Amino acid sequence: MWPILGVLSAAALILLYEAPGLRRSRRYRELAVFLILLTMGTGAGLAQAADVPLPNPLDWMNYLFGPAGERLDKVLRLPGELGG
């Protein structure tokens, strides 16, 4: 309960500090991007505070680029070099 309250209060403080200046200077695109990123960060923080398992982006990168890396390793391996 306390970690969730901490994430929400931090997000509210960040919003109260940043949003009025962006709105006052009529930077509506920047305000929209700021709100989207703040919402995404707050959502990730709430999920982590609630002990929801979050996916690791590095696992996806290994899945996508792993086979190409293995092929490149086989191509670049020197003759007589040990390794699998």
pLDDT for res 82: 67
pLDDT for res 33: 98
Q: What's the whole-model pTM score?
A: 0.68
Give helix then strand counts, H and E, for the chain. 3, 0
- pLDDT score of 6 more than 90: yes
For residue 7, the tally of other CB atoms under 10 A from its CB is 20
- Overall average pLDDT of the 1-17 stretch: 96
CA distances from 56 to 20, 61, 62 (A): 34, 9, 10
